[in-house]
Structure 1
Amino acid sequence: MYPPFTADEEHHLPNVLSAPRFATYLRETGNDRTRALHLYHWNLQVSAAFMVPLHVLEVALRNAIVEAIEAVHGGTWPWTQGFIRSLPNPRGPAYSPKRDLEGCAAQQPTAGKVVAELKFVFWEKMLTNRHQGRLWDDHFYAVFPDAPRGVAANQRRSELRSDIEAVRRLRNRIAHHEPVFPRALQDDFDRIIRCIRWRNETTSNWVLEIETVRALLAVRP
């Protein structure tokens, strides 16, 4: 699967990638430069492969949450004070959903464009217990219709939030070009598929047909 590296590649690639970055891969492979390069190559491939299910998950998640918000606050929710006041606004450098929304809403002309600009963490924060009474008691199973039934919406919402938090960490590592090989990537993949399935099982089945993550996990160097 992996062609051999040339002598020039083995010499130059670690320097171009930077010694500190490459050291992570060397440690994993017992300071074997060739094996470390193969692992780096694989890490690139699996990171790219994860973008397909991550893409579908993010779009499915935010559309589901928007449906719940609109059911309570209407189609102009990004500018509705009742919704804005419901958002946390921590001081200092901590992420603020309220500031994120107000910043996007001030620059974008439509709710759809606001949705596209909000950070992924905004949608994760919408799944916290803070919004249980306002949104999720009445609307969780409506917008995640294929989530398993038999327990209160609060429990399923909490489970989804936990999965999304773990997925966000993976997404951030990929976005910042960090190593993902130390993670339990099969667990990450299973979380992503589960979250998509809760929104719509047909969509999760489609992702399973087109994704390449599992094939790469089977050939990790």
Structure 2
Amino acid sequence: MSTASGPFEFDVYNELLPLVTAERLGSYLRASGGDVSDAFALYEWNMRAAASVMELTSMVEVLARNALDRELREWAHQRRGGASWLDVAPLDQQGSADLHKARDRATRRGRRPEVHGRVVAELPLGFWRYLVESRYLTALWVPTTHRAFPAGDPDLRTRQQDVAFRMQQLNFVRNRAAHHEPIHERDLTRDLQFAMDLAAWISPAAKSWVAATSSLPSIISSKP
């Protein structure tokens, strides 16, 4: 029996089917036992869930990148003679490429002065996700970036693994949501908890803000 709650009748959904395409609705039709109205209800919910995921991950991204930037700035100031970490951080090839693109965008390819905050804002979530990976364990994590998550595990290696895994998972679900992919079969409650973990490890205020602002709990509870 159909659980669709929207304003459309069954025949309207059937008219929409070739426009949205059965291929795109494939996972929704399978999850709904082939019922077109139920498939559209789930598809509509998936759109709302994707928007909520984007909201959640954008909050955590801002919190994490600014916490990491703060520690990297302090590290560069103390250990690199006041230099910008953008110039002296030992980034790998991908990280360097991401930074180069961010600087290009922030300066409009050199047509305006570089402002540190603009460059940081242009760096994608994937950059920060890889910045906390084990590849930077000795170069950046141990000397500085672990301090961005002061309430994490006391063991720095465990903290790095915890942070890296959650950043990786949030980056993955954010990318799926951004590209309008199905996330209705994903454990979004787990993703929400990962986001809350990261925020809590950054600061109590960060955790409170994310908990009070995120719409994902109500979206999850409204799944058809």
Q: Same fold (TM over 0.5)?
A: yes
Q: What is the Cα deviation at residue 196 of structure 1?
A: 1.1
Separation (CA, whole Å) in 2 of partners of 1:196 and 1:100: 24
**Counterpart in the other structure of 2:26:** 23
Q: In the TM superposition, what whole-angstrom CA distance separates every residue of 1:91-128 from its partner, at most 9, and x where no partner exists?
A: xxxxx111111232244211211111112111011101
Separation (CA, whole Å) in 1 of partners of 2:142 and 2:149: 12
Runs (4+) off by over 6 Å: none
1:48-63, aligned counterparts within 5 Å?
Answer: 48-63=51-66
Separation (CA, whole Å) in 2 of partners of 1:104 and 1:177: 25
Q: In the TM superposition, what whole-angstrom CA distance separates every residue of 1:35-63 from its partner, at most 9, and x where no partner exists?
A: 10110111111111222221110001111
- CA 115–44 in structure 1, closer or farther in 2 if over 3 Å, else same: same
Aligned counterpart for 2:102 among listed residues 88, 101, 104: 104
**Counterpart in the other structure of 1:37:** 40
1:166-177, aligned counterparts within 5 Å?
Answer: 166-177=169-180
Query: What is the aligned length?
Result: 209
- CA 169–132 in structure 1, closer or farther in 2 if over 3 Å, else same: same
Identity %: 27
Return the letter of the residue paired with 2:223. Answer: R
Q: What is the Cα deviation at residue 87 of structure 1?
A: 1.3
**Counterpart in the other structure of 1:131:** 136
TM-score with structure 1 setting the length: 0.86
**Counterpart in the other structure of 2:181:** 178
Return the letter of the residue paired with 1:99. Answer: A
Question: Structure 2: which 5+ runs fail to align?
Answer: 78-82, 108-113
**Counterpart in the other structure of 2:92:** 88
Matched, 1:68 2:71: yes
- CA 205–76 in structure 1, closer or farther in 2 if over 3 Å, else same: same
Return the letter of the residue paired with 1:46. Answer: A
Q: What is the Cα deviation at residue 27 of structure 1?
A: 1.0
Where 1:103 maps in the other structure, the secondary structure is helix
Aligned counterpart for 2:85 among listed residues 77, 90, 112: 77
